[in-house]
Structure 1
């Protein structure tokens, strides 16, 4: 609709003809509306409810300079950076994914038994709404985690180094693919990119071929061939997948922490 108005901080849509003025009301918003007028409003339906989305533009002032730098090493389920680690797949998400899998199986069984008629039944509709609700919860939880983490990065650091990952090439098995999709590598980079642009912070992308995992953060030695660290560790030397040991200088560290230090070396 293009006939919406802002009245006393609330959204007033064009009233449908079939609804009386007494039963029509202004709509509240999750956040206080900052605009005085609205050009267009998009209405969409999600998990059985209707929502209104409003476009809004604002000039973002640059953040104060902190003269600090950091690096982020993204992994399946967690992101490592100079201050520690953030878990992007917490336990409450695992419970939601189990419930989503249960609802998906219920819908599949209904379609298998009843065919095309299954989608027209009320029970099928109820289960589908529950599935959509849980998908929405997952998206909101992960979006909240990424928004807070990226906001912390742009508030505390002037230079941020991340990897320019080739995600499609990393999806070796269906298990790894599912974990990578749920870890939201691309969305994290997208959010961090526009926030750095907003607040005048510098985002540095490491080259896809930069050996952040295989390189020693102390002496610069790069593991090659059968000395490389894999998801199963290193069979030749009997090391674990999360353990980095340099065979040149004897440097020993956690693999993810070593990768963060290597990425940090790319900052100016």
Structure 2
């Protein structure tokens, strides 16, 4: 009798948070609501921080006093609520104090980026916002939680987006330059990508990314044109401030030009993020293991010119999104040590350049080689500098 074999294929599902940034188009009434919630968030943060500081001072003077925490500070603010606060969302206060508690936790960890003590929020800041965990997407519109005894309440129209599905988590809404935006984090289920059996390495450079299958240009011609226009607007605005002083910022022409400058900055960010998102998706689709360098970007910022090129190349953003996409889809990301000589090592014989033989951003002055040339003085190989670095990184797998 012929035996039949049944193969079971287990599909590994993973819950991840995928955030979508959308533009909000509130009506006049909801604009006032959003503005009041932005102000209320700032008020709750500042009141919470002042209460926290007072409780901490009392704790240092008298050890029998309770040590401040997000729970105790929140209870103090809720107990002292004014009548006008009940017309606003209670979740704004709760989440503001929760974020304040997290900020204090980060203060005790000096390894955190932008480490520092929590500071008071200013109403003059360009960006004002609040958070809520009771928002919903209803018929393609954003619905916020309505406070008690409020009659006029409307859903907010949002910009068109193809993927607004999943379980909606804590929504961040903010106002910047008169426009309203929302970050919508959805909890979704993702499948692991199929294994391809191929590996790749990425060598990051100012203006381009090299990998085993080619080169990705991170500063295309359209971006350079936008940067030229941004430079022109910045010079014009600086000139107006020098000539007219503090009154310059109140002029209609100044405001109009500043709006154009901000519009071009948004275009730049949109183009850069689109390039990085598409490239990282291509990497996790086509490769199982990916090697990149663990670069210290701050140490590489030798001058304002180099800093500008590094910022425009978005090394940190590339690593950030590649890291979470590898986690999402079950791919392995390998970080080469900062001391690994990927640029100075010959991928043919393994010889490492030292001293005056090293390659710099300008090439090698002693041997008069160009910045994109790698000449091995041990085996005589003549290679492209970036392709040689990719081959060295790939050897780590």
TM-score normalised per structure 1: 0.90
**2-side partners of 1:130 and 1:111: how far apart?**
17
Q: CA deviation at 1:41?
A: 3.7
Q: Which moved more, 1:92-101 or 1:7-16?
A: 7-16
Matched residue, 1:105: 235
Three-state SS of the structure 1 residue aligned to 2:317 is helix
Decide whether aligned partners of structure 1 residues 203 and 120 sit closer, same or farther in structure 2, where only a CA change above 3 A counts.
same
Return closer, same or farther for 1:202/1:20 CA change in 2, 3 Å cut-off: closer
Displacement of 1:138: 0.3
For the 8 Å contact 2:169–2:187, the answer to whether it is kept is no
Which structure would you say has the larger Rg? 2
Residues 29 and 247 of structure 1, relative CA distance in 2, 3 Å threshold: same
Unpaired runs of 5+ in structure 1?
A: none
Structure-2 change in CA distance of 1:25 and 1:141 (3 Å): closer
User: Equivalent residue for 1:61?
Assistant: 191
Aligned to 2:139: 8
In the alignment, is residue 210 of structure 1 matched against residue 348 of structure 2? Answer: no
Using the alignment, how far apart are the partners of 1:212 and 1:74 within structure 2? 11
Maintained 8 Å contact 2:198/2:286: yes
Shift of 1:113: 1.7
Gaps of 5+ in 2: 1-131
1:18 positional shift:
9.9
Partner of 1:190: 320
Q: How does 1:1-268 map to 2 (within 5 A)?
A: 4-13=135-144, 26-35=157-166, 38=168, 40-46=170-176, 48-267=178-397
* Cα deviation digits, residues 177-224 of structure 1 (max 9, x gap): 211111011110011001001111100000101000110001100011
Kept in 2: contact 1:12–1:27 (CA 8 A): no
Give me the whole-angstrom Cα distance separating, in 2, the residues matched to 1:64 and 1:165: 29
2:107 aligned residue: none
Whether the 8 Å CA contact 2:166–2:188 is kept in 1: the answer is: no
Highest relative contact order (Cα 8 Å, sep 6+), 1 or 2?
1
2: CA distance between counterparts of 1:163 and 1:139?
24
- Structure 1 Cα separation of the partners of residues 249 and 156 of structure 2: 34
> 1: distance between equivalents of 2:292 and 2:270?
24
Partners of 2:247 and 2:216 in 1: CA distance: 45
Q: Deviations over 1:45-100 (max 9, x none)?
A: 34543223322111322111111100000000000000010000001111101111
Length-normalised TM-score, structure 2: 0.62
Native 8 Å contact 2:344 2:358 kept in 1 = yes
How many residues get paired? 264
